[in-house]
Amino acid sequence: MKELSEQAERIEQDLASRLAPLRQRREIAELAQVVSQVAAALREDEVLVEFVAFTERPPEQKPEAPNGPLHYLALILAHDGEPAMIDLGPAILLEAAAVRLQAALSDPKATYLAAATDSYQRLFAPLLPAFGGRTRVVISADGVLDLVPFAALHDGQKFVIASHHISYVTSGRDLLRSDDKNGGSHSIV
């Protein structure tokens, strides 16, 4: 039986290397496996948030046609749940808020609270319902959002760091390489 399984696997790999549709189906299965592995690597009180920049393009649009405006999507994954997706809106608005926050935090004479609150409302508040009460947040940011210090965002009452433990990874797959999955904190980058 084992020999037949191995032979079937070799034949499938050979076919996948020749046939694009079969290869795509195999890649989707591998992606689903990676998502499951990343979810299993998360602690019960933890969520992964991956910010992804994307352009809108209707499915019927030809690839050579111009794309729509850049948007940001937040992909949220917890240990026990299905991934959630939240469209945060046009990148131009989110990136402008991030740049304002960076400028305010970089200037010792500037007041940063308004910028920190605006960034909170645009980048963090829309995600809270998907957190399900979890307070440990692992962030993988894309584009300009990679420069946002999420712990410094302000909800109008307190800073995010007062209610959430924030850590950063380059990609959610980084959690699969974590040496300590049993209670230690993920590296803060």
Distance CA 46, CA 57 (A): 33
| pLDDT score of 180 more than 60 | no
* Average pLDDT of the residues in 6-16: 69
Tell me the sheet residues that pair with 85.
75
Given a cut of 50, is residue 141 above it in pLDDT? yes
Residue 66 in tokens: 């111009």
Within 13 Å, how many C-alpha atoms sit on residue 26's CB side?
Answer: 13
Q: Is it the case that residue 149 has pLDDT exceeding 80?
A: yes
Better-scored residue on pLDDT, 57 or 174: 174
> For the whole prediction, is pTM greater than 0.85?
no
Can you say whether residue 13 is alpha, beta or left, with left for phi > 0 and alpha for psi between -120 and 50 degrees? alpha
* 86, 74 Cβ separation under 8 angstroms: yes
* CA-to-CA separations, 157 to 103, 110, 125, in angstroms, rounded: 22, 20, 13
Secondary structure element (H or E) that encloses residue 6, with its range: helix 2-18
For 75: left if phi > 0, alpha if psi spans -120 to 50, otherwise beta; the answer is: beta
Q: What is the DSSP letter of 182?
A: S
pLDDT band at 183 (very low <50, low <70, confident <90, very high): very low
Evaluate whether 45 touches 138 at the Cβ level (below 8 Å): no
Q: Are 126 and 155 spatial neighbours (Cβ–Cβ below 8 Å)?
A: no
For 64, phi then psi, to 5°, come to: -80, -10
